[in-house]
Structure 1
Amino acid sequence: MTPRRWAELTWQDIRDLPKEPGVVVLPIGAIEQHGPHLPVWTDALLAERYAQRAFELLPQDVSALLLPTLSYGKSNEHTGYAGTIALSAATLMSVVRDIAAAVAKSGFTRLLFINTHGGNKAVLEVMLRDLRAEFGLLCFLAQGQHDTSRLPDIERRFGIHANTAETALLLHLTPPLVKTPLPAAHYPAFASQHFNLTSAPQVGWLTRDWSADGHFGDPSAASADDGAEWFEQLAASIAVQIAEASTFRVAND
């Protein structure tokens, strides 16, 4: 079986691995408040578990190598709550750049990020192009997808943190870490007709602007069964993206 965990290999192993085709995968999460019911580990845990499961689902002929999870992210929207550890955008960009530099120096040509924290997304989107320009790496940002059709419209729009889905996922993955009783639904009183919370046109905000307890959505509607179903959907969609990234080429490469 082809080795797939960077941290378990020697430097000679990594040197001698075939580099083409292939992709190196970096899960990125965060350590930040997740309401009164979920651990601060939530995003980092999800990044790690999605990556692990996605690699289990990969066909053996897909060449992919999994880096250890980067647990810290740009979480300054959650400052003001104990336990949040927030990197600045500049720090996260520097850390990602240094990791990418090492990946490139080891001979690899593709790097894929599995991101589970919304606050990292804009930073990583900038880095995709910067890393391509500086190191020649083809970089990808993977986002897992799951069926949200059963959720109410208000949950799909405003359930963005420690919500039904995240609570369900942790009820499936780490039930002892979910505190009960689950809190009631909380949605921000966001009345704007022209701006959104998470997509352009957008307004800058902090969690404490809208939620004293730190959650947006309805944790009380979560179930472990839904979490198991969504987890498999998310991991499977990430596995497909890893497989495609491993052989992706540009026209003039």
Structure 2
Amino acid sequence: MTECRLLEELTRTESRTAAEKTLVVWPVGAIEQHGPHLPVGTDTFTIEFLTRQAAEKASSEISVHIAPTLPFGSSHHHLPFGGTMSLTTQTYYRIVYELAESLIVCGYRKIFVLNGHGGNHELVQLVARDLALNYPVSIAAASYWTIAWDALVELNAHNDCRLPGHAGKFETSVMMALRPDLIHEPRPHRDHTGSTDPRGSVRPYRAEHHGSWQAIDGFTDSPDRGTSELGRRWLDATVDALAKAMVEFDSQATV
């Protein structure tokens, strides 16, 4: 019998009994500035919603436990703006590693880390790689936009903005659908923001430039182009893609 349960609502017996055959999904987000118009919890609100909705959808085929959302991320690049609680690269890696390790020691053998913040992207993948080297576990780690990329491009989520960008059209649309009460108006406008390459968000090389976030005032494109209707469409497509990924990974788990 399949199920979808929150880990924090289980007893130790319920968790231990189901752990070996259950996929545990762990959402990780951030508390960081999102321009003058979005709440600092944007990434955490988004990934928690997506994870819970996708896990519920996936539970028609597999059993899923949802671990409590980690609300803090690696966000030092946003500290100059205020409203940010960040962990260093090294500390964030250790926290994610040790918390996931705890799940393994407690009996879980299939773990999926779902990320909602760009600064965490590579770090959660490194954790997954290292844990699978050290323990008999199947573990996946991904950012929600990479899993849903093709579906989002099909809905033109890459046009006239950065996908997913930061506090621009995409994230503003998502938050207008999720928490319109937290949007501050007027939203900023920016001309000539361009579109994202539909082939993917990963460039042939990574370039970092000191002061680049201050130069764009902490947001990547034009938030005033976001709408709640776009946000709902993009959220629905992402939930579908994440649910499929959970089921696919569960079926491929080797331990």
Q: Identify whether the pair has TM-score above 0.5, normalized to the shorter chain.
A: yes
Alignment of 1:1-253 (within 5 A): 2-17=3-18, 19-20=20-21, 22-142=22-142, 143-144=144-145, 145=148, 146-148=151-153, 150=156, 153=159, 155-156=161-162, 160-185=165-190, 199-205=203-209, 206-212=211-217, 214-250=218-254
Q: Describe the superposition over 1:28-67 as per-residue Cα deviations: whole angstroms up to 9, x where unpaired.
A: 0100000010000000111110011112212433021100
The gaps in structure 2 that reach 5 residues or longer are 195-200
Equivalent pair of 1:63/1:246 in contact (CA under 8 Å): no
In the alignment, the residues of structure 1 paired with residue 234 and residue 27 of structure 2 have an alpha-carbon distance, to the nearest angstrom, of 18
Q: Shift of the alpha carbon at 1:105?
A: 1.2
In the alignment, the residues of structure 1 paired with residue 88 and residue 55 of structure 2 have an alpha-carbon distance, to the nearest angstrom, of 30
Counting aligned pairs with the same residue, the percent is 27
In the alignment, the residues of structure 2 paired with residue 242 and residue 152 of structure 1 have an alpha-carbon distance, to the nearest angstrom, of 24
Structure 1: which amino acid aligns with 2:108?
A: F
SS of the equivalent of 1:169 reads helix
Q: Shift of the alpha carbon at 1:147?
A: 2.2
In the alignment, the residues of structure 2 paired with residue 67 and residue 176 of structure 1 have an alpha-carbon distance, to the nearest angstrom, of 27
Would you identify which runs of 4 or more consecutive aligned residues in structure 1 move more than 6 Å? 186-189
What TM-score comes out, normalization by structure 2 length?
0.86
SS of the equivalent of 1:237 reads helix
Q: Shift of the alpha carbon at 1:127?
A: 1.1
SS of the equivalent of 1:91 reads helix
Q: Structure 1 residues 124 and 199, CA, compared in 2 at 3 Å: closer, same or farther?
A: farther
In the alignment, the residues of structure 1 paired with residue 103 and residue 169 of structure 2 have an alpha-carbon distance, to the nearest angstrom, of 36
Equivalent pair of 2:168/2:222 in contact (CA under 8 Å): yes
Q: Shift of the alpha carbon at 1:136?
A: 2.4
Q: Structure 1 residues 207 and 113, CA, compared in 2 at 3 Å: closer, same or farther?
A: farther
Equivalent pair of 1:5/1:67 in contact (CA under 8 Å): yes
Structure 1: which amino acid aligns with 2:34?
A: H
Structure 1: which amino acid aligns with 2:226?
A: A
Q: Shift of the alpha carbon at 1:207?
A: 4.8
Q: Describe the superposition over 1:179-238 as per-residue Cα deviations: whole angstroms up to 9, x where unpaired.
A: 11111026789xxxxxxx9634121235534223x1111111111001011011111111
Equivalent pair of 1:25/1:113 in contact (CA under 8 Å): yes
The size of the alignment, in residue pairs, is 241
Structure 2: which amino acid aligns with 1:164?
A: K
Give the aligned CA root-mean-square deviation in angstroms.
Answer: 2.3
In the alignment, the residues of structure 2 paired with residue 152 and residue 92 of structure 1 have an alpha-carbon distance, to the nearest angstrom, of 29
In the alignment, the residues of structure 1 paired with residue 97 and residue 233 of structure 2 have an alpha-carbon distance, to the nearest angstrom, of 35
SS of the equivalent of 2:5 reads coil
Equivalent pair of 1:78/1:84 in contact (CA under 8 Å): yes
Equivalent pair of 1:188/1:210 in contact (CA under 8 Å): no
Q: Structure 1 residues 204 and 186, CA, compared in 2 at 3 Å: closer, same or farther?
A: farther
Q: Describe the superposition over 1:82-136 as per-residue Cα deviations: whole angstroms up to 9, x where unpaired.
A: 1111111111111111111111111111111111101101111211110101222
Q: Structure 1 residues 187 and 42, CA, compared in 2 at 3 Å: closer, same or farther?
A: farther
What TM-score comes out, normalization by structure 1 length?
0.87
In the alignment, the residues of structure 2 paired with residue 88 and residue 44 of structure 1 have an alpha-carbon distance, to the nearest angstrom, of 18
In the alignment, the residues of structure 2 paired with residue 71 and residue 122 of structure 1 have an alpha-carbon distance, to the nearest angstrom, of 17
In the alignment, the residues of structure 1 paired with residue 69 and residue 127 of structure 2 have an alpha-carbon distance, to the nearest angstrom, of 17
